[in-house]
Amino acid sequence: PEADRPVVRFVRLPGNDLPLPQRATAGSVGLDLRACVREDVVLAPGQRALIPTGFALALPEGHEAQVRPRSGLALQSGITLLNSPGTIDPDYRGELCVIAINLGEAPATIRRGDRIAQMVIQKVPRIDLVEVQDVRVRRHPVGLVVRAPEDDVRRLPAHAGHAHERIQLTRDHAP
C-alpha cells in the first residue's frame, strides 16, 4: 500500500473462496461485493433476503463504507438493495451482508460469486453540533443564503433538479 492511502483490512470468513472486493475497472470508484451464498437464492418479485459477502473488515478511524446497488443488476433482473446506501461504521466488525430485494416482475436468482453490490469508502469529517435559536433560509438568485442570528453567511449553489437543498452555517453560535 502507498503511504498516503488509508488501509482497509479484510478478513476472509470460513467457507469463503471468493476474491477480495475489487474495482471492475481502473476508473471504478466502487469495490464490487460478491454473494457468498452456499446455494442459489431465488427471490420472487417483492421478496427480500440477507445476502452474505463472506468478509469482515476494519475501516480506518474517520472513514465509512457505503454499500450501494449495482445499476446493471437492477436493470437486468430487478434486484436492488434496501437501506441504500447502507453505512458501515469504522467500529463495525461483523460480516458484511446486503439486503437484496427483487423489484422486478419475475423471479431472480442470486448465485455464489455474483457481483451483488458495490462499496465506496470515504473519509468522514468529525463535526460539532451547535444548537441555535433560529435558522432562516431565503432564496437568492445565485443559490441559498442561510442565516442564524449573528452568524456569518455562506452562499451555496442551488442544484437544479434536486429535491433537497444544502444548508450550512459558517460560524458557530456559541454564547
Q: Is-above-0.85 flag for pTM?
A: no
91, amino acid identity: D
How do residues 68-107 score in pLDDT, each as one tens digit?
Answer: 999 999 999 999 999 999 999 999 999 999 999 999 999 9
Q: Are the C-beta atoms of 32 and 22 separated by less than 8 Å?
A: yes
Percent above pLDDT 90 for the chain:
68
Nearest of 85, 21, 17, 74 to residue 43 by alpha carbon? 74
Nearest of 38, 43, 36, 41 to residue 117 by alpha carbon? 36
The three grid cell numbers given for residue 166, joined into one nine-digit string? 444544502
Cα–Cα distance between 121 and 163 in angstroms, integer? 25
